[in-house]
Amino acid sequence: QVRLEESGGGSVQAGGSLRLACAASGFTYTMAWFRQVPGKEREGVAAISSVSSRVDYTDSVKGRFTISQDNAKTTLYLQMNSLKPEDTAMYYCAADSKVRARSMMLVPNDYDYWGQGTQVTVSS
């Protein structure tokens, strides 16, 4: 079992920045960030392959968010710039023991491991 621990969430004014981190207790082939707000389904934000380093982002964060990993591929980061109120959500770190197709990297179904979540609140 791989444990995921998120950190870095908080409250920020619109236009500000936050950097989320997720520490994994072991190597996984895919890591990703998801977010969820009340009344909506969990949304894939950004994902990265630990093998190929390919990345994917949901359209609403492209150009503002950057996903990355440390060299050991056990720590995941999400640099969030130019934050908007609509970015407010609970952000979850996820990891998978398999290589996922690019079209599935931002789909929450069947990810093997999930963190507890960290709240991001952006005020207008």
Mean pLDDT of 111-116: 98
The pLDDT of residue 83 is 98
Query: How does pLDDT run across 27-69, given as a tens digit for each residue?
Result: 999 999 999 999 999 999 999 999 999 999 999 999 999 999 9
Neighbours of 12 (CB within 10 A): 17
Q: Left, alpha or beta for 112 (phi > 0: left; psi -120 to 50: alpha)? A: alpha
* Confidence tier at 123 by pLDDT (50, 70, 90): very high
Structure tokens at 37: 């707000």
- What is the rounded CA–CA span in Å between residue 6 and residue 22? 4
- Amino acid identity, position 91: Y
